Amino acid sequence: MSDPTRPRGPKIISVANQKGGVGKTTTAINLSAALAEAGCRVLVVDLDPQGNASTGLGVETEDRKLTTYDLLLEDIKLTDVIQETGVQGMGIIPATVDLSSADIELLSNEKRSFLLHDALRQPAMDAFDWDYILIDCPPSLNLLTVNAMIASDSVLIPLQSEFFALEGLSQLMLTVREVRQTANPKLRIEGVVLTMFDARNNLSQQVEQDARDNLGELVMETRIPRNVRVSEAPSFAQPVIDYDPTSKGAEAYRELARELMSKHMKIAA
C-alpha cells in the first residue's frame, strides 16, 4: 500500500520503440534537456546496453562505476548510482554493455519484471525531487523494456518519418496493452512523436497523414525535423539545446517539452 505521507513522485516516461534508428535516444536526451531548461528537475535512466544516452550526456565509460545494471541486480544506494550531467537540474543513471546480460540474470529473479519499478520508488528517491524521469529503452521488446513499462506512467514513442514507419508499431502497442492488463493498469501512451521530419518531403507528409489517420490524438503536434545540429550534438557530448541553442532541432525539442508539460497540467487539473 502506498504511503500517503510521501510526496507525489515524478512523472516516469519510457521512451520506447523496438525499431532502431528512429531517434529514441536522441529524443530521450534532448527532451530531458528541454524540460530541464524549462525549470524541471529531470533524471535520465539509460536502460540501453549501448549506453548512447550516457555518452551523449558526457559520461565517459570509465566513469560509469555503478550503472543501471547495478541498480537492477545489486543493493546499492541511489546517491551512488545517480550522476550529475553538464545540464543544470538533470541527472543520469548511466549504462554499459554489462546490461546486455541482465535479461538472462533476471530470469531467476521472482520479481524480475518489477525491479526497476521498485528501484525508482524507494523512499531515498524523494530527496532528489525529480519532476520527470525519462527511461531510454533498448531497441527491442525484451525484459528490460518490460521493466521500464511497468515502472512508468506512460510511454513516448518516437516514429521515424520514413517508409515502413508504422510497421512494428502494432507490436509495441500490443506489448503496452499486455503490460497494462497484467502488471501496470495505469500505463498509457504519452504520445507518438514524429522524428527526422522533412516538411519538403512528400514521404514525410504521407507518414504524418497515415499516423494521424491511424492514431488520431496520440500523435503529438510537435514534429522533430531532420537537422544536422541534432546529429552533431552527441559527438560533442551535449544535448542540441546546449550545442546549438538556436537551431531548428533545439527549438523543436523545446516545443515538445512545452507540449508535454501542457498535457500534464491539463491532466492534473
In this structure, are residues 203 and 171 in contact, taking their beta carbons and an 8 Å threshold?
Answer: no
CA distance linking residue 262 with residue 16, whole number of Å: 21
pLDDT, tens only, 12-46: 999 999 988 899 999 999 999 999 999 999 999 99
The pLDDT of residue 149 is above 80 = yes
CA distance linking residue 171 with residue 167, whole number of Å: 9
- pTM for the model stands at 0.94
CA distance linking residue 71 with residue 45, whole number of Å: 10
The larger pLDDT score, comparing residue 142 to residue 6, is at: 142
Residue the block writes with cell 539509460: 46
pLDDT, tens only, 232-257: 999 999 999 999 999 999 999 999 99
- Residue 160: exposed, middle, or buried by beta-carbon count in 10 A (0-12, 13-18, 19+)? buried
Superfamily (CATH H level) for 11-268: P-loop containing nucleotide triphosphate hydrolases (3.40.50.300)
Residues whose CB is less than 8 angstroms from the CB of residue 101 and which lie 6 or more positions away in sequence, other chains included: none
Domain layout of the chain by residue ranges: 11-268
Spell 63-98 as b/e; 16+ CB within 10 A means b.
ebebbbbbbbbeeeebeebbbebebebbbbbbbbeb
What confidence category does residue 1 fall into, taking pLDDT thresholds of 50, 70 and 90? very low
